[in-house]
Amino acid sequence: MIKSQIKALIHLIGQENGEQAGLLKDELARIMQEQPQYLREVIEQDFHSSVPAALVSAMQEICWEQLAHNTARFAEKINPDTEEGLTIISRFVNPAISREEITKQLDHLARQLRPILANCNSSEEIWTLMGRFFFHSQGFQVLPTSHDIKDISFGRFLYKKQGSALCLCTLYAVCGTRFGLDAGVADVAGRVLAVLHPRDGAEPIFADPLDGGKLLTLHDCKDYIFSRNLQWNDAFELPLSSRALLRRFLGNMIFVLNKLRDERRLAFLRRYMDILKN
């Protein structure tokens, strides 16, 4: 009985407009929340070869509405967790992905990294070995430019092992913090680098994801800034906060969708950005 009602609802969603369509979407949202297993079975059994576009659109927008609430909760916290923000970005592209799935993959990578880093004697050695692990052992690839917001989804990046430079820098950061390292993502006048601050107070070490994880010193970064006729700002060497990191991911997605003139998805991303700014 429940499945036949769900099937009827799916057919109606593709036919109705205006206020009635809104009521149908509310009912779909309730089913997605309370009876997801029945919805999944109906889709797999009755629509497996061709899921109605109206259903896909409605389910996406229900998820994106929920992500606005998730973003608000994230923004309200004193020190929001980075992986919580990464889940928001990932679920915008893939509503089915969970925080637990992302954490599980990161924990798996950390377990493989642990024996590699066990005998490191310096920050340079840690960052060098992490780069070799990501680029050579694991085969992660950085795309020079992103033409699809899927390339900016951190969850998809972990699965496909290719994506934006921001994704790779974030991988350095979240894996590094699992070992108690003061690791993060630095924004050096628009250029994203993975940054490691030694515990002994020595100068930070940077890794450039667009150059296979090549190490850069603070002096190298300053030379880069001066070569662009810019002034050095000490904030360049500091890791982005979890809020700033989420804004950076959102900004990159907005940039891609602006070029595609995808106003439907842009409206939601701009809304999340406004929530973080306010």
| Boundary of a domain, candidates 76, 98, 133 | 76
Higher-pLDDT residue of 233, 56: 233
pLDDT digits (tens, 9 = 90+) for 64-107: 999 999 999 999 999 999 999 999 999 999 888 889 999 999 99
Kindly state the average pLDDT of the residues 12-34: 72
Range of the domain at 21: 2-76
Name the band, by pLDDT with cuts 50, 70 and 90, for residue 147. Answer: confident
User: Are 123 and 158 in a shared domain?
Assistant: yes
How high is the pLDDT of residue 185? 98
d(CA 195, CA 112): 21
**In the chain, what percentage of residues exceed pLDDT 70?**
92
With 90 as the cut, is the pLDDT of residue 154 above it? Answer: yes
With 80 as the cut, is the pLDDT of residue 210 above it? Answer: yes
With 80 as the cut, is the pLDDT of residue 126 above it? Answer: yes
User: Are 54 and 192 in a shared domain?
Assistant: no
User: Are 20 and 94 in a shared domain?
Assistant: no
Angle between helices 263-277 and 82-93 (to 10 degrees): 170
With 90 as the cut, is the pLDDT of residue 14 above it? Answer: no
User: Are 259 and 174 in a shared domain?
Assistant: yes
Q: What is the largest CA-CA distance in the chain?
A: 69
How high is the pLDDT of residue 2? 75
d(CA 141, CA 187): 20
d(CA 128, CA 62): 43
Residue owning tokens 């099937």: 7
3-class SS at 207? strand
With 90 as the cut, is the pLDDT of residue 110 above it? Answer: yes
- Compute the chain's Rg from CA coordinates: 21
How high is the pLDDT of residue 278? 84
Kindly state the average pLDDT of the residues 212-235: 96
CATH number assigned to the domain comprising residue 269 = 3.10.620
Name the band, by pLDDT with cuts 50, 70 and 90, for residue 144. Answer: confident
With 70 as the cut, is the pLDDT of residue 19 above it? Answer: no
| Boundary of a domain, candidates 47, 76, 105 | 76
User: Are 109 and 43 in a shared domain?
Assistant: no
User: Are 248 and 162 in a shared domain?
Assistant: yes
d(CA 212, CA 210): 6
Q: Are 98 and 162 in contact (CB under 8 A)?
A: no
User: Are 51 and 112 in a shared domain?
Assistant: no
Kindly state the average pLDDT of the residues 25-42: 73
Name the band, by pLDDT with cuts 50, 70 and 90, for residue 59. Answer: confident
How high is the pLDDT of residue 49? 63
d(CA 91, CA 123): 34
User: Are 194 and 100 in a shared domain?
Assistant: yes
Kindly state the average pLDDT of the residues 208-228: 97
Name the band, by pLDDT with cuts 50, 70 and 90, for residue 202. Answer: very high
Q: Which two tokens stand for residue 51?
A: 């899921």
How high is the pLDDT of residue 233? 96
**pTM attached to this predicted model:** 0.88
User: pLDDT averaged over the chain?
Assistant: 91
How high is the pLDDT of residue 134? 98
- Point out the least confidently predicted range of 81-90, 108-117, 123-132, 144-153: 144-153
The number of distinct structural domains making up the chain is: 2
User: Are 125 and 238 in a shared domain?
Assistant: yes
User: Are 68 and 116 in a shared domain?
Assistant: no
Kindly state the average pLDDT of the residues 216-245: 96
Cβ neighbours, 10 Å, residue 119: 8
3-class SS at 180? coil
User: Are 90 and 26 in a shared domain?
Assistant: no
With 70 as the cut, is the pLDDT of residue 16 above it? Answer: no
User: Are 112 and 132 in a shared domain?
Assistant: yes
Q: Which two tokens stand for residue 59?
A: 């389910």
| Boundary of a domain, candidates 43, 76, 109 | 76
